[in-house]
Amino acid sequence: MKQLAYVSTAVRLMTDNELIDILKVARSRNAENDVTGVLLYSDGTFIQVLEGGADRVDQVFESISNDKRHKNLIKLVDSNLDKKHFPDWNMGFAAVDKDKAREITGFLSSTGEILDDESGNMLASILKTFIATNNLLIEN
């Protein structure tokens, strides 16, 4: 099993509808590949974690790498994983208008699950920093 995380920059600021489209495609692609993870977006910056079988994660990441809606893609983590850190999220997502997004399966109802993580996982720490820095605090 593999865990991969990256950060990238949108080529332009994304609208709520564009972000929702990204979420829908990501959820479908990830479900087909048994890949889970989380995608955070704020002010033109994406950070995403992917977890699953190594070949599947690499295949999903290659597709993401070829997406022309972002640039400056930098891998933060590319490592083996004993068990998934985000096993229940086909693609947890935070960023868009909270009222609109709550209707979409996959939108995080709270960032608390990430913020409360005490596992010491390096990736959880990176996500916590991104959430706090970009004020992506979402409460139930």
Give the pLDDT confidence of 73-125 residue by residue, as tens digits.
Answer: 999 989 998 887 776 665 555 554 555 544 444 444 445 556 556 666 677 77
pLDDT confidence of residue 103: 47
Q: What's CA 138's distance to the chain center, in Å?
A: 15
Closest CA to 44 of 5, 93, 7, 11: 11
Residues 6 or more apart from 35 whose CB is under 8 A from it?
29, 50, 51, 52, 53, 56, 57, 60, 90
Percent of the chain topping pLDDT 70: 66
- Residue 122 covered by a domain: no
- Residue 17 covered by a domain: yes
Average pLDDT over residues 38-48: 85
Model confidence, pTM: 0.72
- Residue 40 covered by a domain: yes
* Number of domains comprising the chain: 1
Average pLDDT over residues 22-36: 87
pLDDT confidence of residue 60: 94
CA atoms of 15 and 104, how far apart (whole Å):
16
- Residue 55 covered by a domain: yes
What is the Cα Rg of the chain in Å? 14
- Residue 79 covered by a domain: yes
- Residue 119 covered by a domain: no
Residue 40 CA neighbour count, 13 Å, CB half = 24
Q: Which residue has the tokens 């096993």?
A: 87
* pLDDT grade for 65, boundaries at 50, 70 and 90: very high
Provide the CATH number for the domain around residue 12.
3.30.70.100
- Residue 120 covered by a domain: no
